[in-house]
């Protein structure tokens, strides 16, 4: 009995350390993004370089992108590690008022079904859907919000 109890306690302690480590890593990443000064124009330049890349679900490389894979890849070019999910990316920054949105901010659909990179003037770069390609397009729904990831105008 003691051996099983000791093993269980060791496992619980290990899990607790793992969760604590993950929480620390997330906090550190968020602090880096808050303290990192990104230039929106540079982000847009990189985002534009991948126009025409086909939509491929689950992919995060220039051979093909899904929406969050595209956002993840573009930001990785600036040393910003984002998760490969719209929901995860939405949580990495600060929600901002639409009138304060700058090129390079994230555009997140309210239902977290899609995201992209704001280009200004109601336009965004995104990987739309199967059969389509990464492109600059009007934000197609009023049901969206903006997230800032440490971008300077």
Q: What is the mean pLDDT of residues 97-111?
A: 96
pLDDT at residue 49 tops 60: yes
How far is the CA of 134 from the CAs of 26, 37, 74, 90, in angstroms?
A: 29, 26, 12, 20
Out of 5-14, 37-46, 141-150, give the one with best mean pLDDT.
Answer: 141-150
Pairing of strands 64-65, 94-96: unpaired
| pLDDT of 29 | 54
Between 31 and 62, the higher pLDDT residue: 62
pLDDT one-digit tens code per residue, 114-134:
999 999 999 999 999 999 999
| pLDDT of 18 | 58
> Is 67 annotated in the active site?
yes
Give the DSSP H or E segment for 115. strand 115-120
Between 151 and 138, the higher pLDDT residue: 138
| pLDDT of 38 | 73
| pLDDT of 116 | 98
State what percent of residues in the chain have pLDDT above 70.
Answer: 74
79: exposed, middle or buried (Cβ count in 10 Å: 0-12, 13-18, 19+) = exposed
Between 13 and 57, the higher pLDDT residue: 57
> Is 84 annotated in the active site?
no
CA distance linking residue 64 with residue 58, whole number of Å:
9
> Is 126 annotated in the active site?
yes
Q: Assign 118 to helix, strand or coil.
A: strand
CA distance linking residue 38 with residue 49, whole number of Å:
18
């Amino acid at each position: 009995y003691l051996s099983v109890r000791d093993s269980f306690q060791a496992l619980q302690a290990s899990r607790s350390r793992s969760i604590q480590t993950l929480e620390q890593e997330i906090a550190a990443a968020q602090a880096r993004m808050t303290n990192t000064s990104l230039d929106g124009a540079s982000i847009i330049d990189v985002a534009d370089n991948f126009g025409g890349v086909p939509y491929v679900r689950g992919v995060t490389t220039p051979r093909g992108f899904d929406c969050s894979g595209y956002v993840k890849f573009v930001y990785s070019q600036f040393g910003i590690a984002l998760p490969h999910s719209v929901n995860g990316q939405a949580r990495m920054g600060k929600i901002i008022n639409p009138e304060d949105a700058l090129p390079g901010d994230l555009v997140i659909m309210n239902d977290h079904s899609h995201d992209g990179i704001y280009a200004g003037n109601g336009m965004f770069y995104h990987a739309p859907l199967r059969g389509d390609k990464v492109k600059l397009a009007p934000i197609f729904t009023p049901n969206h919000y903006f997230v800032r990831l440490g971008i300077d105008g």
